[in-house]
Structures are given as C-alpha cells and as structure tokens.
C-alpha cells in the first residue's frame, strides 16, 4: 500500500514538473535527484582505479592523494601520450552520491598460472589499503548488510570484483580463497577465452562453458560469489544462466540491440536474465553506448593496423614517426563521433523495456575506459544521468532501484542461496582436466 502511495506522489510530482517551463525544470530535477540519492546512494558495479594506481604509481598510495581532485594531476614525464585524467577520487565519489563501489581487481589476460593468482592478491591488497588509508570515507564491505551499515555511517562501501576467470588458475580452491579475501563477483572470462569459458571478443571454442566452467558457476553459487557475465560469449551467458542457482550480474555491459558490439547483451539473454532475477549494470564506454562510436573504433583499429601491423602488412613498418603522423592525420580527418549522456540513458531505458526495471543498474567502467560520454567523465557526474531519466518520466521508486535497490536485492538473494547450499553441499572437488 505504501509503495502505491509513493508511486502516486511521484506521478503527481512529475505532472507538476512537466507543467513548469523547460528552464525551470533542470533545477527542480536536480533537487529531486539530490534528495533521492541522499536517501538511496548509488552502487556502481565496476571501476578500474586499482589497476590505474598500479600502472601509474606502482600501487604506492604515498604517490597520490585520493582525497584530492585527481582530474588535474600533472602528467608523469614517462606517461603515455594517450593517458587520460583519472576519473575517480574521494571528493568526486561524494559529489556523485556513490555509496557503494565494486573495485575491479583486473589483471591482463596475458598473466596466467600461479602468477595470475599472485597478481590478483596484490590487487585485492591494494583495494584494502585504499580503504585503510581513508577510513573516514571508505570501508570494506562483504555483504549487503555491510553496505547498509556503510550507508548509515556515510562512508563508501568498497567491494571487490575479480574481472576474469583466468585469475583463479583453474582452481576452485583459489576461487574459495579469493572469496575469503573479500571478492564478491567474478567475471567468467575477459577479452580472451580461458580454459573453461568463451569470451565475447575471442573465437568461441568451449561451446560457452566446459563442464569445469559449469562447476565454477555452481561453486560460486555455493560460496556466495556473484556470477558476472560481462565479457563472455552469448553461449557462455546462456550456459551460466542455465547452471546458476542464484541471480547473476553483468557488471558493466550494454544492450546489443542498440549497439551491435560483442560486449553487449542480446535481447534473448536479457529476457533470460529477467527470469533469473539478475541485473545488467550499464557501461559508459562510448563504443558500447553508440553504434557510430563502435564503428569509429573499428575504423581506427583498422587504420592502426594499416600503418604498423607486423610482419608485412604495415605501410610504415620500422618507421614509427611516420606511422604516428599518418594516424594523427587520419584522426583529424575522421574525428570520433560525439557520445552523449542521453545515449547512456537510452541504454538504461532499453534494458528496462526488455528485461524490466528490476534488472538494470549502473556499472560505468570509469578509469577502465579511454574516454567517456559528454557529461559523464567522472564519478561525480552520476546524478546527471538520474536527472535525465527523471526528465523522461522515471519515478523515484524506479530510480532508487537503478541506484542500488536492484544490485542489493541480487546480493541478498546470492547470500540466501549460499546459506542454503552450504547447509547441504560440501565444497566442490571438481578438478580442471585439459
């Protein structure tokens, strides 16, 4: 009954807002969103700041102050020419009403075997050191209840997401120990297939998941680690959905019907996701948000290959200065298309239309992408997206689901499934067999 009253109040407020002149709507929407996000902060499904800290500062937190604005840091003398400003810091997390952040502990797919386990542990350690260094602002969270306590304390709940199944080195024991260290989701594959899961951006050879891959999914259910289907092939998505006893997530993906990129989620999978009770957390990467941007990315990659692709194809092999100059000239003649906040809102709206309002969240991928849509280039800009959706008629109740309600529900469901399974199942003894 109370939810019906709240929905009626939201509709009345929307009707009153629409009656205002356009110039008066923006401040009113901003105030409405501020009130909403003060009560229901955002949980973002994916941020790659830990890897940026490793790459730029050797993981040494003495070399950077996350308590200050990182968007205007001076560039290091040895920084790559295409390095962008950081998109995350504590003041901007606060300004963006971020109450929970899944920090990705991504490592390259080229790092495999025991070295992958070691590097993953180093990245987990880095996330925990971040929280220890800024205890007034960040706190580690390992459950939905922990997130609720962080909200009440006014701190950002810091969660850990493993971004690639290769990071467990084909070992369920490693998977269990990563969960014990705090990891609460694992992406089944990354940009290349691994020994038991196909990737969306690599030739499929595993028929989605191997039997060991199915065992990984089921053991993730048992320990209470969310199954993340971003980066995996459509066949792997469907196999994981069929195997999972708990709701799954896409930590940072968009809709393939809007942008035909293999990283995005097809409609048939969105419909299966709705039945599963899972969530797609919308990615801000321009090439996943806009078809024009995806096409430009492909053309740019082709131009890079044309200029300097070994062993024989490159036009300027052994002439890096000429290759660089030619690429710069091509880029001036073919500027990247503009990608806007409204296009991200289109992605959110579309996933809502196909999978339902209970199946959408935010997984921006900031500090893991080389550029962002206009108006969404930092974690402080999240409220602007909510203003756009409010302008399109979203109720406060539905905006609250997008902000954190949906992912909290998924987390709680995963925890409940784990409690039930642990009462009846022993840890899996499944062993990877080549």
**Residues designated as active site:** 46, 48, 163, 190, 231, 252, 365
CA nearest neighbour of 253 among 242, 261, 262, 264: 264
Q: Are the C-beta atoms of residues 116 and 195 closer than 8 Å to each other? A: no
Task: Give how far the C-alpha of residue 358 lies from the chain's centroid of Cα atoms, to the nearest Å.
Answer: 17
CA angle in degrees (0–180, nearest 5) for 157-161-163: 155
Bond before 394 cis per omega within 30 degrees: no
d(CA 36, CA 341): 20
Rounded Cα distance between 383 and 152, Å, is 20
**CA angle, corner 432, sides to 430 and 434, nearest 5?**
150
In Å, what is the CA distance from 69 to each residue of 52, 60, 126?
15, 17, 20
CA distance 78 to 59: 16
Residue 269 to residues 53, 153, 351: CA-CA distances in angstroms?
A: 35, 38, 11
Q: Is the dihedral of CA 136, 138, 140, 142 positive or negative?
A: positive
Q: Record the tokens describing residue 102, joined without a space.
A: 């899944």
Closest by Cα among 366, 198, 390 to 283? 366
Residue 162 exposed, middle or buried by CB count within 10 Å (0-12, 13-18, 19+): buried
Q: Which residues of 280-301 are buried (b: 16+ CB within 10 A; e: fewer)?
A: bbbbbbbbbbbebbbebbeebe
Q: Which two tokens stand for residue 372?
A: 């962002």
Place of tokens 């469901």: 413
Q: For residue 143, list its beta bridge partners.
A: none
What is the C-alpha R_g of the chain?
22
């Amino acid at each position: 009954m109370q939810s019906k009253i709240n929905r009626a109040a939201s509709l009345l407020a929307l009707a009153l807002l629409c009656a205002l002149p356009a110039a008066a709507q923006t401040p009113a929407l901003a105030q409405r969103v501020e009130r909403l996000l003060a009560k229901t902060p955002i949980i973002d499904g994916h941020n790659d700041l830990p890897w940026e800290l490793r790459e730029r500062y050797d993981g040494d937190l003495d070399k950077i102050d996350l308590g200050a604005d990182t968007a205007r840091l001076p560039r290091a003398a040895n920084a790559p020419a295409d390095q962008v400003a950081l998109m995350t810091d504590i003041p901007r997390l606060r300004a963006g009403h971020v109450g929970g952040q899944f920090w990705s502990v991504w490592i390259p797919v080229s790092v495999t075997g025991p070295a992958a386990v070691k590097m993953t542990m180093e990245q987990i350690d880095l996330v925990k050191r971040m929280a220890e260094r800024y205890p007034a602002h960040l706190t580690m969270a390992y459950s939905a209840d922990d997130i609720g306590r962080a909200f009440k304390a006014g701190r950002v709940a810091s969660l850990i997401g493993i971004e690639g199944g290769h990071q467990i080195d084909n070992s369920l024991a490693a998977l269990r120990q990563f969960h014990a260290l705090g990891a609460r989701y694992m992406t089944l594959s990354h940009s290349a297939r691994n020994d038991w899961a196909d990737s969306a951006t690599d030739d499929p050879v595993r028929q989605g998941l191997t039997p060991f891959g199915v065992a990984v999914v089921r053991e993730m259910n048992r320990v209470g680690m969310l199954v993340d289907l971003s980066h995996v092939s459509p066949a792997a998505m469907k196999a994981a959905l069929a195997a999972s006893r708990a709701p799954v997530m896409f930590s940072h993906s968009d809709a393939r019907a809007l942008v035909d990129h293999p990283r995005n989620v097809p409609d048939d999978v969105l419909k299966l996701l709705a039945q599963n009770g899972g969530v797609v957390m919308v990615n801000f990467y321009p090439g996943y948000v806009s078809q024009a941007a995806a096409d430009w990315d492909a053309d740019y990659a082709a131009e890079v290959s044309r200029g300097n692709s070994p062993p024989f194809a490159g036009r300027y092999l052994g002439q890096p200065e000429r290759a660089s100059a030619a690429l710069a000239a091509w880029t001036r003649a073919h500027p990247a298309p503009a990608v806007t906040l409204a296009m991200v809102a289109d992605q959110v709206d579309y996933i809502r239309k196909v999978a339902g309002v209970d199946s959408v969240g935010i997984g921006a991928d900031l500090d893991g992408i080389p550029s962002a849509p206009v108006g969404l280039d930092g974690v402080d800009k999240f409220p602007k997206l909510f203003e756009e959706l409010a302008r399109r008629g979203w109720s406060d109740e539905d905006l609250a689901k997008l902000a954190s309600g949906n992912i909290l529900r998924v987390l709680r469901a995963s925890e409940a499934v784990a409690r039930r399974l642990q009462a009846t199942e022993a840890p899996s003894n499944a062993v990877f067999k080549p």
